[in-house]
Amino acid sequence: MNDKILSIARRFSLPEGELHIAAYGNGHINETYCVKVEESARRFILQRVNRYVFERPEEVISNIAKVTQYLRGVIAAEGGDPERETLTLVESLRHEPFVIDDDGELWRMYWFIEGTISRDLPDTPELFALSGEAFGRFQRQMGGFPADSLAESIRDFHNTPVRYAQLMDAAARDAAGRRREVEAELAFCMERERETHTLVDALAAGEIPLRVTHNDTKLNNVLLDAKTGRGVCVIDLDTVMPGLAAYDFGDSIRFGANTAEEDERDLSKVELSLPMVEAFARGYLSEAGSTLCRREIELLPMGAKLMTLECGMRFLADHLNGDRYFRIHREGHNLDRARTQFALVRSMEEKWDAMADIVAHR
């Protein structure tokens, strides 16, 4: 396998030198490797874009090229460092922003952003506030980008009623014969079916706008400065497309304001951390607050709840479908992930007034 990856890496325009390759990161979707060029000590990130998830990977790359080019201009105009604060695609030897291998799989490469860390759990509220600033800044900086120039890389990606329907469909088909063990989880979702419509209805009613959003704002998708913790660069731009700000806010809360990890089996450890909500809302709104309208801000807590429910429904549907979408590392992994999401939804419901109060006063 390593030889194959090495030969793919060599098809990109890299500095001269011997290459060292190692698997990298904790993403659920793409295959990620770190490529080091011995002589120059420079590093690169090489990724195979998941074809099951992204049916038209060339469109994903084209979106990323447009978004990063736009961001480079905005960052430079604000006096920042575009080489560090957004991703830079490496060209292939054929001057394309990707390489297609013999199996038809698409690979892309980025400059490695050095001196940064990515975290799976925020160590402190302060660190989480800094990631909020980075995602809020991304929202603000993308404010003037022409949304209609982007392809919809995954249709109905954050359309919660559609995700609900997909779950019901997976349960009806029961492809992996696992339905019997998840009746309680399905009932949990059915009780909340009506609520799944809240944000798409607000959009349809013209109460909130469609914006260019990131759509995968979990903590490990922002690189933080290794010394200061400052959010340096928002990464994982595969799903940047038109969407709702509340879902971006919500995905960060889902992942980072959970007192346990996303796949914790001991559900008694799963709880919404209000200090983390406060920290993230403070950081996020310090950057994005002036861009968002009043109704969008009011709906941020609903974004947190619906994104957590939606993500749980997606994990559960994948469990029922036989684990085809999210990478798993143990049997029942997607079911464990779904259960933590539903436990977190419950905790959000218990702490609803406090969460809403915190967001309203930021």
Q: Which residues bind ligand ADP (CB under 6 A)?
A: 24-25, 27, 29-30, 32, 45, 87, 110, 112-113, 118, 220-221, 223, 235-236
Best CA proximity match to 307, nearest among 263, 283, 342: 342
Which of 21-29, 104-112, 178-186, 340-348 is the region at the interface with ligand GN1 (rule: CB under 6 A)? 21-29
Measured distance CA(147)–CA(40) in Å, rounded: 39
Decide which of ligand ADP, Mg ion, ligand GN1, none touches 113; Cβ closer than 5 to 8 Å per partner kind. Answer: ligand ADP
Pick from 5, 8, 12, 27 the residue near Mg ion by CB under 5 A: 27
Pick from 85, 133, 185, 216 the residue near ligand GN1 by CB under 6 A: 216
27 binding ligand GN1? (CB under 6 A):
yes
For ligand ADP, give the closer residue by CB, 305 or 337.
337
Both structure tokens of 263: 């796949």
Decide which of ligand GN1, ligand ADP, Mg ion, none touches 311; Cβ closer than 5 to 8 Å per partner kind. Answer: ligand GN1
With beta carbons less than 8 A apart as the criterion, state whether 362 and 285 touch. yes
Compose the 226-265 pattern: x for residues touching ligand GN1 by CB under 6 A, - for all others. Answer: ----------x-xx----------------------x---
Which of 25-33, 175-183, 186-194, 274-282 is the region at the interface with ligand GN1 (rule: CB under 6 A)? 25-33
118 binding ligand GN1? (CB under 6 A):
no
Decide which of ligand GN1, ligand ADP, Mg ion, none touches 262; Cβ closer than 5 to 8 Å per partner kind. Answer: ligand GN1
222 binding ligand GN1? (CB under 6 A):
no
For ligand GN1, give the closer residue by CB, 28 or 178.
28
- Report residue 61: phi and psi, to 5°: -65, -40
Compose the 162-201 pattern: x for residues touching ligand GN1 by CB under 6 A, - for all others. Answer: ----------------------------------------
Tell me the HSE value of 50 on the side-chain side, using a 13 A CA sphere: 17
For ligand GN1, give the closer residue by CB, 276 or 311.
311
Distance set, CA 112 to CA 24, 43, 95, 116, 129 (Å): 12, 5, 19, 10, 24
Which of 24-32, 71-79, 114-122, 144-152 is the region at the interface with ligand GN1 (rule: CB under 6 A)? 24-32
Name the residue whose CB lies closest to ligand ADP: 27
Distance set, CA 238 to CA 49, 66, 356 (Å): 9, 12, 30
Both structure tokens of 234: 């928002």
334 binding ligand GN1? (CB under 6 A):
no
DSSP assignment of 145-214 equals S-GGGS--SSTTTT-HHHHHHHHHHHHHH-TTS-GGGGHHHHHHHHHTTGGGGHHHHHHHTTSS--EEE-
Pick from 9, 21, 45, 53 the residue near ligand GN1 by CB under 6 A: 53
- Residue listed under structure tokens 């959970």: 258
User: In the complex, what is the shortest distance from the CB of residue 252 to Mg ion, in angstroms, rounded to a whole number?
Assistant: 13
User: In the complex, what is the shortest distance from the CB of residue 163 to ligand GN1, in angstroms, rounded to a whole number?
Assistant: 10
For ligand GN1, give the closer residue by CB, 46 or 53.
53
Q: Which helix (H) or strand (E) holds 116?
A: strand 116-117
DSSP secondary-structure letter at 124? S
Measured distance CA(128)–CA(82) in Å, rounded: 23
User: In the complex, what is the shortest distance from the CB of residue 111 to ligand ADP, in angstroms, rounded to a whole number?
Assistant: 6
- Residue listed under structure tokens 């990631």: 131
Best CA proximity match to 317, nearest among 338, 300, 293: 338
321 binding Mg ion? (CB under 5 A):
no
Q: Alpha carbon 123 to chain centroid distance?
A: 19
- Report residue 84: phi and psi, to 5°: -110, -25
Both structure tokens of 241: 């497309």
196 binding Mg ion? (CB under 5 A):
no
The residues binding ligand GN1 (CB under 6 A) are 27-29, 53, 216, 218, 221, 236, 238-239, 262, 311
